[in-house]
Structure 1
Amino acid sequence: MVAGRYLRARRKDAFISVIAGLTLTGVAIGVATLIVVMSVMNGFREELLSKILGLNGHFSAFPIERQFTDYRETVEAIEGVDGVTYAVYFVEGNALASGQYESTGVNVRGMDLENIRKLSLLFNGAEQGGWEGWDEGQGVAMGSRLAARLGLSLGDPVTLVNPRGSTTPFGSTPQIRTYPVNVIFNLGMVEFDSFFLYMPLEPAQTYFRLFDEQLRPGVEPPDIDATDEEIDAAYVRVNQASAVEIFIADPDNVGQMRQRIQQQIQRPLILTDWQQRNETFFSALQVERVVMFVILSMIILVAAFNIISSLVMLVKDKGGDIAVLRTMGATRGSIMRIFSMTGTTIGVVGTFVGLVLGLVISANAEPLRAFISNTLGVAIFPPEVFFLSSLPSRTDPIEVAMVVGLALGLSFLATLYPAWRAAQYDPVEALRYE
């Protein structure tokens, strides 16, 4: 009852109550800020991880010792390993893509429709056009940002230039081909939407010359003056792939899965996992999360110091009341509990308000970002810098509990010294000049 009266504003001590209100606001802002920032960073990491691993597998398998002509059999064997969800083979190379406005370097991947269907992020990301008849067509698929940069729309021709072309007596000539744009996709990640271009598998193998002409078994080599039909009848085309992407059920279990795949697959392969490919990037994200948590925790610490200052002022102002209570029989423990409850109430209410505010903002992070950006006309979290086209957010209950526990703990600790000082008041000295 006494602690509640001290918290309510009255005319003569309104200033102290204003300070208590500002302290409560500081605790609420600190808790809300910490929850929002940690939620956004969690969402940022999870979204990046899902996008990166949506196209690039948990393992990339590259052939060694011999050409990768047995890629179909290798994929079937890999998919039979326990813990592997699926695997996709592909042809990959770099080229210069030219459109109506400008030219830019692109990463070209050749895949058939069967493997594209396995990559749900890519298959469901088609904004314009569709994947029907993909294997039989001669068109390409590109990201929406790449299409906008080149000034292309559905059906427009795009020219690809590859320096590794045909070899002639006068040197190597570049490989130049023009293809229509059949699919424009949007994966929600700037790097993929700006840099990746897909082709059907066989046209990609032809474009990058990933095939061999091998003599058919039991057939004699044709003569020098043989016709084209005789040469085609004597030789068979053997296609190659560049690599295989392997997707596993548990992305964090790369060590055990690496051993399992290498033991069960007879074909020599070099395996690189997603942690090796993105080690620096995700390590930087982890360090940033820890640093941001420590820095933003200082806001709650400052609010805790405000609780100390407001309670010290309250103790000074209530010196006479403390003396009267002591003469009426109140113990030192009672006085200490009164002021501890006063300060702790400020911390508890501020933490609860900050918790609600932080959860609401975290749940509506992207709409709030879009509203503020449209209102101010300023790009907040531009996709070109942060790789994602929207602001992700994922609230971790464990981290929220840590933030709430930190705020409540600091609030309680902040009340101990002022409450102890109040309990040490001497009634005689306090009432001597009353």
Structure 2
Amino acid sequence: MFGRFERMVAGRYLRARRGERFVSIIAIFSLIGIALGVATLIIVMAVMNGFKADLMSRILGLNGDLTIFGAGQTISSYQDNVAAIRQVPGVTRVTPMAEGTVLISAGSFSTGGVVRGITPDGLKDLHALSDNIDAGSLAAFQGDDAVAIGSTMAMHAGLSVGDKITLLSPNGKATPFGTMPRIKAYRVALIFNAGVNDYDSSVVLMPLAAAQRFLMLPDAVSLIQVSTTDALTVRPVTRAIAERLDDPRLRVMDWTQSNNAFLGAVTVEQNVMFLILTLIILVAAFNVISSLIMMVKDKTGDIAVLRTIGASRGAVMRIFLMCGAFVGVTGTVLGTGLGIVFCLNIERIRQALQHLTGTNLFDPTVYYLERLPAKLVWSQVIEVMSMALLLSLLATLYPSWRAARTDPIEALRHE
């Protein structure tokens, strides 16, 4: 498509001579603009992908893909329902839980929180917690006085393994003087780090039997968590479980219903960021148009000479197409490389900047997660590269067409 002569002339035009520095500087800035636009878009999309994937994995890892609960009541015959749910194809984990709101206190520290009763085997299967234990052991999570707390709560309350924590439940026994709340002290058996600040700061886990006694739920649970083989195809499993339940008052809610608004907002934000950052590449493409128009204006005499010695309009157009394409392709390749390298080392870069500035650049109390995630989706990288190349090539069409339309007679008349 591009002949040797055309490549030679285009290469000569890209090397600035004395008096042509200004045009080359504009071309360099156009290249840098495209590179920064592509890199920024790749980085932002990777961070949004990582944030969404990390958020989903933590939310689903802690709360399951779907939940069975009673409408305003507890689940009394939960053993039969658990056995029936385990027979549903696609179900990997079924965890009954007793849940209640409590007041948590330890010394001068006090806060509201949630008690969740779970069996030791259920906690072991809950890998989001069992694989992230900061202190203590799963073997100690048993008996009537053992509890597990999050790392944030332990830090704020100054607690360690073996310390005592007091729980106050509003569900108590009725007396002539009113309902007396239940108060009991428990021993911290282990400290976990779920990676979600809200969970680490407000949830207390205890063995299911102890939680049932403390919350006054004899032989009953508050909910049943279920995990599946694929969270993205949870709807068929949800329908199958609903058909297996023996109580019509029980409800089944999967993550697409309980977290749909939150995750939908993340998706919308991701799409809006893609659209906004695409404008950076578009602005850089306009710079390519400017630099090529100035180059065509500067090379009017050269174009006339080329046409006089036999170069066709197509050849002239291809020469300037190559000049613009070089800027676009080089900028896209450099930007893609920069974006990929940045994404692969984004956590190290964050920690280095945090160390230099002495500030917390990613506060988990604000951003819900404790680290800056990044997940490269190669299809998106290819999409960004293709879009940048397309915009860059489109930006070269008008200046190249204008160069090809140059009349050699009129151009040489004014030389």
**Matching residue within 270, 280, 289 for 1:289:** 270
What is the correspondence of 1:271-420 to structure 2 with a 5 Å cutoff?
271-420=252-401
**Is 2:141–2:148's contact at 8 Å kept on the other side of the alignment?**
no
Counterpart-to-counterpart distance in 1, 2:400 and 2:412 = 19
After superposition, what is the alpha-carbon deviation per residue over 1:175-205, rounded to whole angstroms, capped at 9, x for unaligned? 1111111111111111211121101111111
TM-superposed CA distance for 1:101, in Å, is: 3.5
> 3-state DSSP class of the match of 1:164?
strand
> Aligned partner of 1:32: which letter?
A
After superposition, what is the alpha-carbon deviation per residue over 1:1-23, rounded to whole angstroms, capped at 9, x for unaligned? 11111111222212211111111
TM-superposed CA distance for 1:243, in Å, is: 1.1
After superposition, what is the alpha-carbon deviation per residue over 1:292-323, rounded to whole angstroms, capped at 9, x for unaligned? 00000000000000000000110011011000
Q: Quick check: 1:80 aligned with 2:87? A: yes
TM-superposed CA distance for 1:64, in Å, is: 5.9
Counterpart-to-counterpart distance in 2, 1:64 and 1:195 = 24
Counterpart-to-counterpart distance in 2, 1:66 and 1:166 = 18
**Is 1:101–1:149's contact at 8 Å kept on the other side of the alignment?**
no
> Aligned partner of 1:368: which letter?
I
Residue in 1 aligned with 2:98? Answer: 91
Structure label with greater radius of gyration:
1
Instruction: Report runs of 4+ in structure 1 exceeding 4 Å deviation.
Output: 64-67
Residue in 2 aligned with 1:230? Answer: none
Q: Quick check: 1:198 aligned with 2:223? A: no
TM-superposed CA distance for 1:65, in Å, is: 10
**Matching residue within 266, 271, 284 for 2:246:** 266
Q: 1:403 to 1:116 in 2, by over 3 A?
A: same
> Aligned partner of 1:40: which letter?
V
Residue in 1 aligned with 2:4? Answer: none
**Is 2:140–2:190's contact at 8 Å kept on the other side of the alignment?**
no
What is the correspondence of 1:235-254 to structure 2 with a 5 Å cutoff?
239-254=219-234
Q: Quick check: 1:424 aligned with 2:408? A: no
**Is 1:100–1:152's contact at 8 Å kept on the other side of the alignment?**
no
What is the correspondence of 1:174-193 to structure 2 with a 5 Å cutoff?
174-193=181-200
Q: 1:208 to 1:252 in 2, by over 3 A?
A: same
Q: Quick check: 1:60 aligned with 2:40? A: no
Residue in 1 aligned with 2:135? Answer: 128
**Is 1:43–1:393's contact at 8 Å kept on the other side of the alignment?**
yes
Unaligned ranges ≥5, structure 2? 1-7
RMSD of aligned C-alpha atoms? Answer: 1.4
> Aligned partner of 2:77: which letter?
D
Q: 1:65 to 1:165 in 2, by over 3 A?
A: closer
> 3-state DSSP class of the match of 1:88?
strand
Residue in 2 aligned with 1:16? Answer: 23
> 3-state DSSP class of the match of 1:252?
helix
> Aligned partner of 1:245: which letter?
Q
**Is 1:110–1:201's contact at 8 Å kept on the other side of the alignment?**
yes
Residue in 2 aligned with 1:27? Answer: 34
Counterpart-to-counterpart distance in 2, 1:241 and 1:358 = 49
Residue in 2 aligned with 1:38? Answer: 45
> Aligned partner of 2:276: which letter?
I
> Aligned partner of 2:171: which letter?
R
TM-score (norm 1): 0.91
Once the two structures are overlaid, the 10-residue window that deviates more, 5-14 or 388-397, is: 5-14
> 3-state DSSP class of the match of 2:382?
helix
**Is 1:100–1:151's contact at 8 Å kept on the other side of the alignment?**
no
TM-superposed CA distance for 1:77, in Å, is: 1.4
Q: 1:368 to 1:290 in 2, by over 3 A?
A: same
Counterpart-to-counterpart distance in 1, 2:401 and 2:75 = 77
Counterpart-to-counterpart distance in 1, 2:72 and 2:323 = 75
After superposition, what is the alpha-carbon deviation per residue over 1:189-247, rounded to whole angstroms, capped at 9, x for unaligned? 11211121101111111111112xxxxxxxxxxxxxxxxxxxxxxxxxxx211110011
Q: 1:415 to 1:146 in 2, by over 3 A?
A: same
**Is 1:101–1:151's contact at 8 Å kept on the other side of the alignment?**
no
Count of residues in Structure 1 that have an aligned counterpart in Structure 2: 407
